[in-house]
Amino acid sequence: MEIRCKTAEKDQLKAKPEDDSKLGFGDIFTDHMFLMNYEEGKGWFDPRIEPYQDLCIDPAAMGLHYGQEIFEGLKAYRGRDGGIYLFRARENFKRLNRSAARVCMPAVDVEVAMKGMKQLVLLEQDWIPRSEGTSLYIRPTMLATEPHLGVRPADEYLFFIIVSPVGAYYKEGLNPVKIYVEDRYVRAAVGGTGETKTAGNYAASLLAAEEAKKKGFTQVLWLDAAERKYVEEVGTMNMFFRIGEEVITAPLTGSILPGITRDSVITLLRNWGIKVSERSLAIDEVIGAAEEGSLEEAFGTGTAAVISPVGQITYKDRDYIVAGGEMGDLSQRLYKEIVAIQYGEKDDPHGWRERIN
Ligand SMILES: *Cc1c(COP(=O)(O)O)cnc(C)c1O
């Protein structure tokens, strides 16, 4: 499929951020975006790059009413060698299609989406920041646009990709975060949509996160919806706990997001000969380990932060300090390894990286 490209006029171009160190997350958008449309019976059509602009959507667009909206999150990295790199990007579009299937939206052609994304990133390459830890965040999104108010899957969709230069995701940087174990609200139940990146999951998580923030926490750690007994994940990260010599993460039973960073961490740990278990982990086991001193490390994994070490876990109003409130050895090693692969500074035995320039 040919991608049409209409670039912005010179006098429409925005000023680029001058200071990489002041970049936040998701506030600045570039000059162009990728779009394509879908109609039932016709399929996806008119893949194109256009100047970044407001969308024109009917107020009855079904995605605005019944939540047929899915997205992805990945990054383009600028290496010190000038290379522009993607990390396991195809996996993001495969996951987008799994999300699509769950909420009755059409799959995209992974190759068309990849091509559109690469073309957009190359067009916007001067927006990719160069300082350490910075990147160009890529947000593919799909929304139901058919104007109709009966509840059923829509017949028309819009797929678009926008990109945003970003600094470090967490204000604390790599400093460990405090997490609050949430035992009232739940994020997702087995059988629901927890394993997809669909908008409603995030709406459902906001209140708990806001209440935790007011108490001074960065994130909530979700427990399983049925029993509030097993640890699942935090905000937009999967969770790992190192107890003694075992590293444990929740299994993919349907209520948690199958993170690409999670999968990369599991692969690296196994390569390093470290025992990793994808198994149910009771919060009582985590707290017991913290009390007896065998909870060596806890960390979240996700594209935005890569590895986010946890320095404190609070459960039923009691605080438990993890790894002395510092970043643990394994968290550090994983972070360095993954970042080095992403920025083209290390061998890539798993074929995770792709240079696009
Ligand atoms: C995106 C996301 C993750 C992390 O996935 P990555 O592919 O590693 O970025 C974890 N949990 C939730 C809920 C997410 O939305």
Output the domain CATH number for residue 81: 3.30.470.10
Ligand 1 centre to CA of 138 (Å) is 14
Same domain, 10 and 155: yes
Same domain, 49 and 98: yes
DSSP E strands: which ranges in the chain? Answer: 4-5, 32-39, 43-51, 69-71, 74-78, 84-87, 135-144, 156-166, 177-182, 219-223, 231-234, 237-243, 246-249, 275-278, 295-302, 306-315, 318-321, 353-355
Residue 196 has what pLDDT?
98
State whether the beta carbon of 239 lies less than 6 angstroms from ligand 1. no
Residue 175 has what pLDDT?
79
Rounded to the nearest integer, the mean pLDDT of the chain is 96
310 pLDDT band (50/70/90 cuts)? very high
Which of 166, 196, 216 is the last residue before a domain boundary?
166
Task: Tell me the whole-structure pTM to 2 decimals.
Answer: 0.97
Same domain, 160 and 181: no
What is the token pair recorded at 292?
Answer: 């007896």
Q: Give a yes or no: residue 351 inside a domain.
A: no
| 342 contacts 353 by C-beta, under 8 angstroms | yes
pLDDT tens digit sequence for 273-297:
999 999 999 999 999 999 999 999 9
Instruction: Tell which atom from ligand 1 comes closest to the C-alpha of 91.
Output: 7
Give the chain's domain count: 2
Same domain, 74 and 186: no
Residue 40: give the domain boundaries: 4-166
Same domain, 153 and 88: yes
Q: Give a yes or no: residue 347 inside a domain.
A: no
Residue 132 has what pLDDT?
86
State whether the beta carbon of 259 lies less than 6 angstroms from ligand 1. yes
Q: Give a yes or no: residue 124 inside a domain.
A: yes
- In one-letter notation, the amino acid at residue 50 is E
Closest CA to 95 of 74, 77, 116, 117: 74
Ligand 1 centre to CA of 7 (Å) is 32
Q: Give a yes or no: residue 126 inside a domain.
A: yes
> Does residue 146 sit in helix, strand or coil?
coil
pLDDT tens digit sequence for 223-235:
999 999 999 999 8
Concatenated DSSP letters of 227-292: TS-BEEEETTEEEEEEETTEEEE---SSSS---HHHHHHHHHHHHTT-EEEE---BHHHHHHHHHH
